[in-house]
Amino acid sequence: MPNQREPVTTVQLACVIINSTIGISVLSLPRWGAEIVGSGGVFATFLALIFYLIFLVILSLVARRFPEQNLIQFGNKIVGKYISFIFGLMITVLFVLLTSMVIREFGEVMATTLLRETPLEVSLFVMLAIVAIASRKNISEFGYIHFYYIPFIIMPGLFLISMAIPEGDFFRILPVLGNEPSLTGMLDSSMTIIALPFFQIGLYTLTVIFPKMQDPKKALKGSLYGWIGVFIMIMSITTVTYAALGAEQINEEVWPVLALARSISFPMPPFQRLDIFFIVFWIITAFTTILSGFLISIHTFADTFKMNNHRKLSYWFLPVFLFVALVPENNVQMYDWMPIIGKTSLVITAGYPTLLVIISMFKK
């Protein structure tokens, strides 16, 4: 039976992509490029976003070819039930790992900035409880949640960019390819960035949204709108951070964008400290990204095991995410594991849909 159509619009799809991708990990994003290619991190981020666009187009083409089926359902038709079942199980496990990394990163930021006396476990549990409750909603309500929260993500981001521009020296982003440019280093840097959890969560949320759209033929259009929003925000934040801090200082910061917010002062007594102001809004970005990753996990698991309702899984998956998020001993170990887990999962999350597109071109 085809999935029942729910009114998810093209605009809501774009909002889901933007909100899911611009997550709490953006606070550390500039450091991943600076560690490998120095000032070339801006260009490495640009390349990563181009790869992200390619993957979006591939998933959109799959959605247009199978407009009323999710990833597991059209995978059953293309590669068979057994192979589709294996990939579905692998994708579920991978997104539990990826989302748990984002949850842990959220807890580390909270423990460092706002809730220094609150145990890490409490912060993680509260966020997961809110996400578990929200994930019980249907897909149309999921689209409305992202549509509602997008102004609270875009406006603070643009405000940060506008306030940071006067502090920047754009000669710090030169040379654009880094001091010792190499194709291997640039590709390695861009692959490290695109493998970060929030990029893959933003990408794979489409597999949940596409079958529920009003007009699946507009999936590519909505994806492009979302990518444009992501491109503008991430490239602007990354460029301004490099211009204001420089590659060497970025390497010394755990969360360079947060350090940028702390360096900005506003000539009004109530708002002189902007870092706390932005952390409050980055909590919203963490919520939307974690919600999307949580939803991908339970929907993929439900589809893999042919369960009619994903809602019963919401509370069962909560302790799983909490346990995995607490496995790293500290944020240093978490950031050591993050690129390893990300690159491993990227092979599956990007390779499997690409494989489906190629095979579907040869099968009628």
- Alpha-carbon gap, residue 196 to 336, rounded angstroms: 12
Tell me the residue range of the domain where 215 lies. Answer: 10-354
Report the DSSP beta bridge partners of residue 213: 8
Average pLDDT over residues 220-236: 91
Q: Which of 160-174, 185-199, 289-303 has the lowest mean pLDDT?
A: 160-174
- pLDDT, position 110: 86
Residue 359 lies in a domain: no
- Alpha-carbon gap, residue 297 to 157, rounded angstroms: 28
pLDDT reading at 78 higher than 70: yes
- pLDDT, position 33: 86
- Alpha-carbon gap, residue 174 to 177, rounded angstroms: 8
- Bond preceding residue 175 cis, omega within 30 of 0: yes
- pLDDT, position 266: 64
- pLDDT, position 314: 87
- Alpha-carbon gap, residue 340 to 342, rounded angstroms: 5
Residue 264 lies in a domain: yes
- Alpha-carbon gap, residue 320 to 298, rounded angstroms: 11
pLDDT reading at 118 higher than 50: yes
- Alpha-carbon gap, residue 295 to 290, rounded angstroms: 8
- pLDDT, position 219: 80
Highest mean pLDDT: which range of 45-54, 243-252, 271-280: 45-54
pLDDT reading at 73 higher than 60: yes
Report the domain count for the chain: 1
Sign of CA dihedral 314, 319, 325, 330: positive
Residue 51 lies in a domain: yes
- pLDDT, position 319: 93
Q: Are 165 and 244 in contact (CB under 8 A)?
A: no
- Alpha-carbon gap, residue 154 to 225, rounded angstroms: 14
Q: Which of 148-162, 193-207, 262-276 has the lowest mean pLDDT?
A: 262-276
Residue 278 lies in a domain: yes
Percent of the chain residues topping a pLDDT of 90: 24
- pLDDT, position 97: 94
Residue 5 lies in a domain: no
Residue 1 lies in a domain: no
CATH number of the domain where residue 160 is located: 1.10.4160.10
pLDDT reading at 212 higher than 90: no
Average pLDDT over residues 220-243: 91
Highest mean pLDDT: which range of 73-87, 256-270, 290-304, 347-361: 290-304
Residue 83 lies in a domain: yes
- pLDDT, position 231: 94
Q: What is the pLDDT of residues 134-162, one digit of tens each?
A: 888 888 888 888 999 888 888 888 888 88
Residue 288 lies in a domain: yes
> Does residue 324 or residue 67 have the better pLDDT?
324
